[in-house]
Amino acid sequence: MGYKLRFSQYNASSVLVEWPPLIDENILNDVLSFKNKIEKINIKCLVEVVTAYNSLLIIYNFTIDDINNVFKDLKALYLEKSIGLSKGSKVIKIPVCYDADFGEDLMHFSKVKKISKSELIELHTAPLYTVFFLGFLPGFLYLGGLNRALHLNRKTTPNLNIKKGSVAIGGKQTGIYPQDSPGGWHIIGNSPIELFNPNDNPPSFINAGDQVKFYAISKPEYVEIQAEIQNSKFNIETLFVND
Amino acid sequence: MIKVLKSGFFTTIQDQGRFGYGSFGVPVSGAMDTCASTFANHILGNSMDAAVIEMTMIGAQFQFLSATLIAITGGHMNPKINNKTVPMNEVILVNKNDVLSLGNSVEGFRTYVAVKGGIITKMVLGSRSMLKEVTPSHRINKSDHLPILEQEGIKRIKNAKVKFNSSYLNTNNIEVAKGPEFDRLSEKQKTLLLNESFKVSKYNNRMAYQLLPVVTNTLDAILTAPVLPGTVQLTPSGQLIVLMRDCQTTGGYPRVLQLTEKAINILSQKSTGNNINFTLVDY
């Protein structure tokens, strides 16, 4: 691919690599391919790589001695051909209940945007959302692909407590709150899926580069899935797509 | 076991934090003042990653249900065992049923108690550092029992005294390097950041320290990007926020400065109203 990257030292033990500041799937793939290469040649307990839309932070478990050498090696590694990175992607299907009991802002949302509840559900469940990265809260997914018709500025006064599982829209983004948290997004539903479990390793089964598809469930189905999750009987539907 | 008689203002178990889970949005955590926590482990002959007790502003009270060796470091909270003053920065022998009491901080803001062999609570994602939504409890509460190594025949080790330089508790000098967005600041803003004195606002905790006064700012938000403890963000309204150990893994505000590790330790001993000055350094 070959983007013009900016390399800089972030602190005594980490290096920041930046791509052009765009939300773009080609950039995402390039970021993740570079992450993959870095992780392949390093020992896991010595190097950690955190990515976001257009950046990659390499955190070493030691102080960097010669930064120019590190830059030189990283630049050479970036130019190397990536090997063995599967081109297919994983699609994870996430059930969402858009019942008014869960989506406390749904009525207001459809009024402001002048769309019916069923249109809203259709527009929200249609896309394949791309997971750009996880951040903000443990297990919180930054998803790209929200339909323009559903863009709505965040609330001016945030909610002090948005319930775990809440599916919400804020600005051009949509997401799921993996735990109770304050937040300024409009809540349109709730998912019974556990996005983050600190007792699992890895603690999240969704990674940057995966794709997410929502599907609507009724309230009784929500209760049923929730019970199945508690008994570890629920299997999240995952599709593997080769493109 | 250590029985918690009083929990203090905000007391937690901390080690060196979590490494390798940032891409899942898991904060680093770990002792706020690693200089003090590491020294406490060092004089006890513990491994560097042994978990210690961190207290903030108002100390806790503990009863030791078995004899052990401890060390108290960091801010000064007038530590006493069975009502008798005990020294800081030294190995102390505690007997079965001894009560360790710590008062209000009189110097610094955070005090550490390390125990021979460390506090051995269950590890979650490679660390014992307490954090909401990650560990079962996010703070130490009254009546908690903290597990420690039970050892027979504990004796005070007579080793050469290691001098601890605690002068960092009283410095206002916060060393910083340029953050990724430093060059977007105007010359006026740069001069202001590096020459004016700032005050720690009342919004200070393990996640972040906000500073006063606000800075005139026209910089826009950035595309959400990684951040680390010690990152200084500048919000569109001009608020300076210094991210601390429990900070989020990503953020959307320009990252104008980055504190050195030593500077994070210095700042974590500051409280509301304390002054700080930024000094630019190279790595």
For residues B114 and B191, membership in a common domain is answered with no
pLDDT of residue A85: 57
For residues B28 and B163, membership in a common domain is answered with yes
User: Residue A53 is nearest to which of B124, B224, B260, comparing CB atoms?
Assistant: B224
- The stretch A99-116 carries a mean pLDDT of 93
pLDDT band at A68 (very low <50, low <70, confident <90, very high): very high
Per residue in A9-38, pLDDT (tens digit) is 999 999 999 999 999 999 999 999 999 999
Q: Are strands A47-51 and A55-60 parallel, antiparallel or unpaired?
A: antiparallel
ipTM: 0.93
Could you give phi then psi for residue B242, rounded to 5 degrees?
A: -95, 115
pLDDT of residue B269: 98
Whether the predicted pLDDT of B39 surpasses 70: yes
Whether the predicted pLDDT of A166 surpasses 70: yes
pLDDT of residue B233: 96
Residues 158-217 of A with CB under 8 A from B: 178-179, 196, 198-199, 201-204, 207-208
- DSSP tally for chain A: helices H, then strands E: 5, 14
Residues 71-100 of A with CB under 8 A from B: none
Could you give phi then psi for residue A150, rounded to 5 degrees?
A: -105, 5
Please report the domains of chain A, with CATH numbers, ordered by start residue: 6-79 (3.30.1360.40), 89-241 (2.40.100.10)
For residues B269 and B216, membership in a common domain is answered with yes
Whether the predicted pLDDT of A243 surpasses 60: no
For residues B144 and B80, membership in a common domain is answered with yes
Closest approach of chain A CAs to the CA of B68, in angstroms?
Answer: 31
Whether the predicted pLDDT of B261 surpasses 60: yes
- The stretch A81-103 carries a mean pLDDT of 83
C-beta atoms of A198 and B248 within 8 A: no
CA distances from B164 to A19, A164, B116 (A): 44, 46, 19
Could you give phi then psi for residue A165, rounded to 5 degrees?
A: 90, -10
Per residue in B163-195, pLDDT (tens digit) is 888 899 999 999 999 999 999 999 999 999 999
- The stretch A194-219 carries a mean pLDDT of 95
User: Residue B226 is nearest to which of A57, A179, A207, comparing CB atoms?
Assistant: A57
For residues B108 and B238, membership in a common domain is answered with no
Per residue in A209-229, pLDDT (tens digit) is 999 999 999 999 999 999 999
- The stretch A104-112 carries a mean pLDDT of 94
CA nearest B252 in A: which residue?
A: A136
Helix (H, G, I), strand (E, B) or coil at A166: strand
Chain-wide mean pLDDT for chain B?
A: 95
Containing structural domain, residue B193 = 171-280
Tell me the chain B residues in contact with residue A45 when contact means C-beta distances shorter than 8 Å: 19-20
pLDDT of residue A81: 81
C-beta atoms of A8 and B27 within 8 A: no
Per residue in B219-254, pLDDT (tens digit) is 888 999 999 999 999 998 899 999 999 999 999 999
pLDDT of residue A83: 64
For residues B11 and B102, membership in a common domain is answered with yes
pLDDT of residue A154: 86
pLDDT band at B73 (very low <50, low <70, confident <90, very high): very high
Question: DSSP per residue over B173-240, as a string?
Answer: EEEEEE-TTGGGS-HHHHHHHHHSEEEEEEEESSSEEEEES-----PPP-S-EE--TTEEEE-TT--E
For residues B156 and B19, membership in a common domain is answered with yes
pLDDT band at A233 (very low <50, low <70, confident <90, very high): confident
Query: B155 or B35: which carries more pLDDT confidence?
Result: B35
pLDDT of residue B150: 85
Measured CB to CB, residues of chain B less than 8 Å from chain A are 19-27, 124-125, 133-135, 177, 180, 222-226, 228, 230, 248-250, 258, 260-261, 283
CA distances from B261 to B24, B31, B75 (A): 23, 12, 17
Residue A240 makes CB contacts below 8 A (sequence gap 6+) with: A88, A89, A90, A91
- The stretch A184-204 carries a mean pLDDT of 94
For residues B32 and B82, membership in a common domain is answered with yes
Give the sheet arrangement for strand A6-11, strand by strand: A6-11, A14-18, A55-60, A47-51
C-beta atoms of B134 and A9 within 8 A: no
- The stretch B134-141 carries a mean pLDDT of 97
Closest approach of chain B CAs to the CA of A18, in angstroms?
Answer: 9
Tokens describing residue A225: 């899935």
Could you give phi then psi for residue B175, rounded to 5 degrees?
A: -80, 130
For residues B153 and B193, membership in a common domain is answered with no
- The stretch A184-213 carries a mean pLDDT of 95
Percent of chain A at pLDDT > 90 equals 79
For residues B116 and B197, membership in a common domain is answered with no
**Counted domains in chain B:** 2
- Of the residues B167, B193, B213, the one at which a domain ends: B167
Residues 96-125 of A with CB under 8 A from B: none
Closest approach of chain A CAs to the CA of B20, in angstroms?
Answer: 5
Nearest 10 degrees: CA dihedral of B47, B52, B54, B60? Answer: -150
Per residue in B81-125, pLDDT (tens digit) is 999 999 999 999 999 999 999 999 999 999 999 999 999 999 999
Percent of chain B at pLDDT > 70 equals 98
- Of the residues B152, B167, B182, the one at which a domain ends: B167
For residues B197 and B136, membership in a common domain is answered with no
| Count of positions (residues) in chain B | 283
Tell me the chain B residues in contact with residue A139 when contact means C-beta distances shorter than 8 Å: 24-25
User: Residue B24 is nearest to which of A53, A199, A203, comparing CB atoms?
Assistant: A203
- Of the residues B167, B190, B215, the one at which a domain ends: B167
For residues B8 and B127, membership in a common domain is answered with yes
Q: At what angle do helices B34-44 and B261-268 cross, to 10 degrees?
A: 90
pLDDT of residue A24: 95
pLDDT of residue B162: 75
